[in-house]
Amino acid sequence: MRIGVLALQGAFREHIDQLARLSVDAVEVRLPKHLAGVDALVIPGGESTTIRKLMTDYKLIGPIGSAIKGGLPVLGTCAGMIVCAKRVDGEEVPGIGGLDVELRRNAFGRQVDSFEADVDVPILGTQPFHGVFIRAPVVESVQPEVKILAQLKDGRIVAVRQGAVVGIAFHPELTDDDRFHRYFLKLVKEAHPVTSAAW
């Protein structure tokens, strides 16, 4: 299994380290040619406007969007989830798509309002996941094909899945809990049933 990690800005190194601890080959993606041979892609947290601009500058928007339409599994965390969303702050966002949701950026406030909270994530078991929220978005609405994976106690949606694309508002890579990465790797194997037996 070979997982690409978008390495333009943000917490890409932490995702690579988390995947390495799971004995997964993770490679940095900066150009379209780096997508060749990857079985999935992680889009990390960071600054979504900067990440989107760099993706445009390096001509990654089209190739990643086409790969998603072709079934490439993608994990987007925080800013990565924003990049995957079709609507952000009430506006259609041209780009890679993947998540037919509407997001609100910086939903909890500015950097100083960052916080940590235990989040119930039923797909990961009964033990809550300790979420690190840094200028995090929330999902305000989802289309019927989108599955809600996690909500805060006040009902705000903070993790979703559509097909093989997973979006998380917080930063699982900043914790020692690897359950979200393991869940994503399971989706990758399901998306590649012919080759997964060799992994």
Q: List residues with catalytic annotation.
A: 78, 171, 173
Return the bridge partners of 186, or none: none
Residues in the chain: 199
> 111 exposed, middle or buried (CB, 10 Å; 0-12, 13-18, 19+)?
exposed
Closest to 152 (Cα-Cα) out of 106, 119, 114: 119
> 36 exposed, middle or buried (CB, 10 Å; 0-12, 13-18, 19+)?
exposed
Instruction: Name the residue type at position 18.
Output: Q
How far is residue 42's CA from residue 31's CA, in Å, rounded to a whole number? 14
